[in-house]
């Protein structure tokens, strides 16, 4: 039996949740689904033809069996016997050959539709705003991209083909049966439910166990994912939870074994029921057929009874599958609904139709009465106003959670303002071409993200055509070249999963080198809150100072040395600019900055005391 779409439960049973959330099958939904089949109309027509021909051909040998019995065996005609046997063989061979072609074509269509849908979804998801990615569960996004869309493929190769081919088989079989002998055919039709109902029940039990074991396997995956990941393992080790985690794993593992054994035994019962009924069914026909032949209608031949038994055997599968198709159908519709739900989400942040791409760029930023919230209940930025001129550098400081990162995210339009305006070189960012805007802004974020690849790959991400000299030069400027050249494989050193093979400081300097290669007009540096030792800190400092000296920049600063490098300091508190000025102007004021200076910056103030404390943030980043 083919696995159900979406890889969830098997046929026969809908879960309570599925019953509750039955999708509304509207004409629009169906039309939309069929629109995906449209480009493959010709191939679909060919598949239909192949299904039709192979259904008829598959049934032919059953009809020929009757001839073999009546005209060959009973009539003792060797010539006809051989002829019909050879014909049977040929027809079966042909049906199978057509079947191969049909399944190739079917898979081809399904794969191409999946390909189209995945590409469209990828393009669509790339347009989604940061809000979408922070709000939605990452697993959910991946599931829709992968298994939901794979489910569509199963719908086409499974559900759709199954409906068509089974219906054709049934109709053709019924027509032949009634043409052979209507009375016997009637008996046959009455016997069909006997074949199907018991196996259906056996199937139900089996699938309910499958459901349980699938939940169990999800749980196992969850445990493995959490405890065997880099950060997870670290947490387990540092909290000495190895034994506890093992016990948890062992318990679920045991449950899995129990379920597997039950499932395999349920399979036994299922097969037993199947065997019994497939054997009893024909006997019933022989019995009733015999009675009719001997007592009621003498024109009925042994061959006709044989044909009937053979055709009934062929009907068993299609009837069973069609009975289960409703469940598959509902699931398929639910799957499409889930996929379309994502397609229909507005991109939120898009290029304006009349977006401007200026010829020159200065990198100036201005905030005019900017207000912003993620959730209307809680305003994060309240009436922010400032202007950052070309070549100048602002440091933004403030308590954790005061809205500093949020503020800078508005500049490259990771989010749009709720009220007010953000101007880049005097133009509202919403009126600028997005690609232009983002190309001219470079952000070194708090959580440095490196792709799993080499240092070179990560650098080339900013400038794919950078020469070797440019790469080395960027590394030198970012103060990472000594580290790179000390590695056996230099720039081709692999950085590991999310860059975890490197220290926090190294990662940050590589990301500075990456920004240098991008060479943006506006540089934003979101300093990591986690502590680095003073040597690493100094190296980063030495890397960014020349950078900010030559271009417009904003630093979200957590260290005194960074603050001191700026031309002006904006102190953010509760989403407002509480104070602004130079360090000397602010430090004696007795306000928020003074407080920050005395608490947050004091470590640095006490000067060059290496901070070697372990930082969780660093290992997680
Ligand atoms: P830190 O110095 O700790 O990095 P920050 O000043 O940069 O803090 P933000 O990251 O801007 O602070 O966050 C400001 C507030 O907005 C926080 O209270 C945070 O919980 C909330 N917040 C941040 N990102 C989101 C989001 N994607 N959805 C909802 N709320 C968010």
Ligand 1 center to 478 CA (angstroms): 28
| 44/123 same-domain check | yes
Ligand 1 center to 108 CA (angstroms): 47
The radius of gyration of the chain from alpha carbons, rounded to an integer in Å, stands at: 35
Ranges 78-82, 343-347, 544-548: which has the least confidence = 544-548
| 109/52 same-domain check | yes
Average pLDDT over residues 74-101: 93
Residue closest via CA to ligand 1's atom 1 equals 400
Confidence label for 620 from pLDDT (cuts 50, 70 and 90): very low
Residue ranges of the alpha helices (H) in 136-241?
Answer: 138-143, 149-154, 161-180, 182-227, 230-238
Query: What pLDDT shows up at residue 247?
Result: 94
468 in any annotated domain = no
Ligand 1 center to 401 CA (angstroms): 5
Q: CA nearest 200: which of 316, 286, 67?
A: 316
Q: What is the CATH number for 115?
A: 1.20.1560.10
Ligand 1 center to 558 CA (angstroms): 15
Average pLDDT, the chain: 81
94 in any annotated domain = yes
> What percentage of the chain carries pLDDT values higher than 70?
85
Of 101-105, 181-185, 187-191, 595-599, give the range with the top mean pLDDT. Answer: 101-105
180/15: higher pLDDT:
180
Q: How far apart are CA 139 and CA 141, in angstroms?
A: 5
- Phi, psi values for residue 463, rounded to 5°: -150, 90
3 state SS of 569: strand
User: Which residues line the pocket of ligand 1, CB cutoff 6 A?
Assistant: 134, 374, 380, 398, 400-406, 529
Confidence label for 4 from pLDDT (cuts 50, 70 and 90): very low
Residue closest via CA to ligand 1's atom 27 equals 134
Ligand 1 center to 172 CA (angstroms): 66
| 94/144 same-domain check | yes
The first and second tokens of residue 569, run together, are 């300091």
Q: How far apart are CA 97 and CA 570, in angstroms?
A: 76
Residue where a domain terminates, one of 310, 343, 376: 343
Query: What pLDDT shows up at residue 610?
Result: 37
Confidence label for 15 from pLDDT (cuts 50, 70 and 90): low
428/162: higher pLDDT:
428
| 423/337 same-domain check | no
The first and second tokens of residue 540, run together, are 């980063």
* Model pLDDT for residues 435-475, shown as the tens digit of each residue: 899 989 988 887 778 887 888 888 888 888 888 999 998 88
> Residue 553: which H helix or E strand, with range?
strand 552-556
Confidence label for 17 from pLDDT (cuts 50, 70 and 90): low
Q: What angle do CA 507, 511, 517 make, to 5 degrees?
A: 145
Q: How far apart are CA 451 and CA 500, in angstroms?
A: 10
CB 153 within 8 A of CB 114: yes
- Say yes or no to pLDDT of 21 above 90: no
Query: What pLDDT shows up at residue 407?
Result: 92
387 in any annotated domain = yes
Which atom of ligand 1 lies nearest, measured to the CA of 575? 14
Q: How far apart are CA 40 and CA 37, in angstroms?
A: 6
| 238/331 same-domain check | yes
Ligand 1 center to 403 CA (angstroms): 6
Q: CA nearest 370: which of 358, 352, 384?
A: 384
Q: CA nearest 367: which of 65, 621, 152, 577?
A: 577
Q: How far apart are CA 592 and CA 527, in angstroms?
A: 19
Confidence label for 612 from pLDDT (cuts 50, 70 and 90): very low
Residue closest via CA to ligand 1's atom 20 equals 401
167/3: higher pLDDT:
167
* Model pLDDT for residues 261-307, shown as the tens digit of each residue: 887 776 676 667 666 766 777 788 888 888 988 988 888 888 988 88
448 in any annotated domain = no
208 in any annotated domain = yes
Range of the domain at 617: 351-440+524-531+554-621
Q: In what order do the strands lie in the sheet with 419-424?
A: 378-388, 365-375, 419-424, 427-428
Of 211-215, 304-308, 315-319, 615-619, give the range with the top mean pLDDT. Answer: 304-308
Q: How far apart are CA 299 and CA 318, in angstroms?
A: 30
Residue ranges of the alpha helices (H) in 228-241?
Answer: 230-238
| 51/162 same-domain check | yes
| 564/616 same-domain check | yes
3 state SS of 433: coil
Range list of β-strands (E), 493-544: 522-526
Which atom of ligand 1 lies nearest, measured to the CA of 134? 27
Q: What angle do CA 311, 312, 313 make, to 5 degrees?
A: 90
Range list of β-strands (E), 44-203: none
* Model pLDDT for residues 466-492, shown as the tens digit of each residue: 889 999 988 888 888 888 888 888 888
The first and second tokens of residue 88, run together, are 């049977």
* Model pLDDT for residues 346-360, shown as the tens digit of each residue: 888 888 889 889 998
Partnered with residue 553 across adjacent β-strands are 393, 523
Q: How far apart are CA 87 and CA 155, in angstroms?
A: 35
| Burial 509-546, CB ≥16 within 10 A → b, else e | bbbbbbbbbbebbbbbbbbbebbbbbebbebbbebbee
Q: What is the CATH number for 411?
A: 3.40.50.300
CB 558 within 8 A of CB 534: no
Which atom of ligand 1 lies nearest, measured to the CA of 407? 11
Confidence label for 71 from pLDDT (cuts 50, 70 and 90): very high
CB 102 within 8 A of CB 94: no
Residue where a domain terminates, one of 289, 315, 343: 343
Query: What pLDDT shows up at residue 132?
Result: 86
Residue where a domain terminates, one of 343, 364, 395: 343
Query: What pLDDT shows up at residue 423?
Result: 94
Query: What pLDDT shows up at residue 156?
Result: 78
| 334/397 same-domain check | no
| 333/364 same-domain check | no
Partnered with residue 387 across adjacent β-strands are 366
Ranges 111-120, 320-329, 501-510: which has the least confidence = 320-329
**Phi-psi label, residue 196: left if phi above 0, alpha if psi -120 to 50, beta otherwise:** alpha
3 state SS of 489: coil
| 230/355 same-domain check | no
Ranges 75-89, 122-136, 147-161, 511-525: which has the least confidence = 147-161
**SS in 3 state form for 353-400?**
CCCECCCCCCCCEEEEEEEEEEECCEEEEEEEEEEECCCCEEEEECCC
| 233/374 same-domain check | no
| Number of domains making up the chain | 2
360 in any annotated domain = yes
Query: What pLDDT shows up at residue 619?
Result: 35
- Say yes or no to pLDDT of 2 above 70: no
Q: CA nearest 161: which of 26, 372, 321, 355?
A: 321
326 in any annotated domain = yes
| 405/330 same-domain check | no
Ranges 89-103, 276-290, 500-514, 603-617: which has the least confidence = 603-617
Query: What pLDDT shows up at residue 147?
Result: 74
Confidence label for 6 from pLDDT (cuts 50, 70 and 90): very low
472 in any annotated domain = no
Query: What pLDDT shows up at residue 310?
Result: 87
């Amino acid at each position: 039996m083919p696995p159900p779409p979406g890889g969830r439960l098997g046929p026969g049973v809908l879960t309570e949740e599925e019953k509750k959330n039955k999708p509304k099958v509207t004409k629009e939904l169906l039309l939309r689904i069929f629109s995906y089949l449209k480009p493959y109309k010709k191939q679909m027509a060919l598949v239909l033809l192949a299904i039709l021909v192979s259904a008829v051909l598959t049934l032919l040998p059953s009809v020929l069996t009757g001839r073999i019995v009546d005209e060959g065996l009973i009539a003792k005609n060797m010539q006809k016997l051989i002829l019909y046997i050879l014909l049977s063989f040929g027809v079966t061979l042909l049906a199978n050959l057509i079947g191969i072609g049909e399944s190739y074509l079917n898979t081809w269509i399904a794969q191409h539709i999946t390909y189209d849908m995945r590409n469209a979804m990828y393009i669509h998801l790339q347009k989604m705003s940061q809000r979408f990615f922070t709000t939605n569960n990452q697993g959910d996004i991946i599931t829709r991209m992968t298994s939901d869309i794979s489910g569509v493929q199963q719908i086409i190769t499974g559900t759709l083909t199954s409906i068509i081919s089974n219906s054709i088989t049934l109709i053709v079989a019924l027509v032949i049966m009634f043409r052979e002998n209507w009375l016997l055919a009637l008996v046959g039709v009455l016997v069909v439910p006997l074949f199907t109902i018991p196996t259906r029940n056996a199937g139900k039990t089996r699938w309910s166990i499958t459901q349980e074991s699938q939940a169990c396997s999800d749980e196992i995956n969850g445990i493995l994912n959490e405890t065997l990941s880099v950060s997870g393992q670290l947490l387990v080790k540092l909290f000495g939870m190895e034994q506890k985690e093992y016990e948890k794993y062992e318990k679920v593992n045991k449950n899995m074994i129990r379920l597997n054994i039950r499932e395999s035994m349920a399979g036994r019962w299922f097969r037993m029921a199947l065997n019994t009924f497939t054997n009893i069914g024909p006997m019933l026909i022989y019995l009733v057929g015999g009675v009719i032949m001997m007592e009621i209608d003498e024109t009925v031949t042994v061959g006709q009874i044989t044909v009937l038994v053979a055709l009934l055997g062929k009907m068993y599968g299609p009837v069973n599958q069609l009975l289960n198709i409703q469940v598959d159908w509902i699931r398929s519709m639910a799957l499409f609904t889930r996929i379309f739900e994502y397609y229909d989400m507005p991109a939120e942040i898009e290029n304006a139709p009349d977006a401007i791409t200026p010829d020159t760029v200065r990198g100036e930023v201005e905030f005019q009465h900017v207000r912003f919230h993620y959730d209307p209940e809680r305003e994060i930025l309240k009436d922010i106003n400032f202007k950052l001129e070309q070549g100048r550098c602002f440091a933004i400081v403030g308590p954790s959670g005061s809205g500093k990162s949020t503020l800078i995210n508005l500049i490259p339009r990771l989010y749009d303002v709720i009220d007010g305006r953000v101007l880049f070189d005097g133009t509202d960012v919403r009126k600028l071409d997005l690609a232009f805007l983002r190309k001219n802004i470079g952000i070194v974020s708090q959580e440095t993200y490196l792709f799993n690849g080499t240092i070179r790959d990560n650098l080339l991400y900013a400038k794919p055509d950078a020469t070797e000299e440019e790469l080395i030069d960027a590394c030198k400027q970012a103060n990472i070249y000594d580290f790179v050249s000390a590695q056996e494989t230099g720039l081709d050193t692999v950085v590991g999963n999310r860059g975890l093979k490197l220290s926090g400081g190294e990662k940050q300097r590589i990301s500075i080198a990456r920004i240098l290669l991008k060479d943006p007009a506006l540089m934003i540096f979101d300093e990591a809150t986690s502590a680095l030792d003073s040597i690493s800190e100094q190296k980063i400092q030495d890397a960014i100072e020349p950078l900010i000296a030559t271009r417009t920049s904003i630093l979200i600063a957590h260290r005194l040395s960074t603050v001191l490098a700026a031309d002006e300091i904006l102190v953010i508190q509760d989403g407002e600019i509480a104070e602004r000025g130079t360090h000397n102007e602010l430090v004696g004021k007795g306000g928020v900055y003074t407080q920050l200076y005395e608490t947050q910056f004091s470590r640095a103030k006490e000067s060059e005391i290496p901070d070697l404390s372990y930082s969780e943030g660093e290992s997680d980043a």
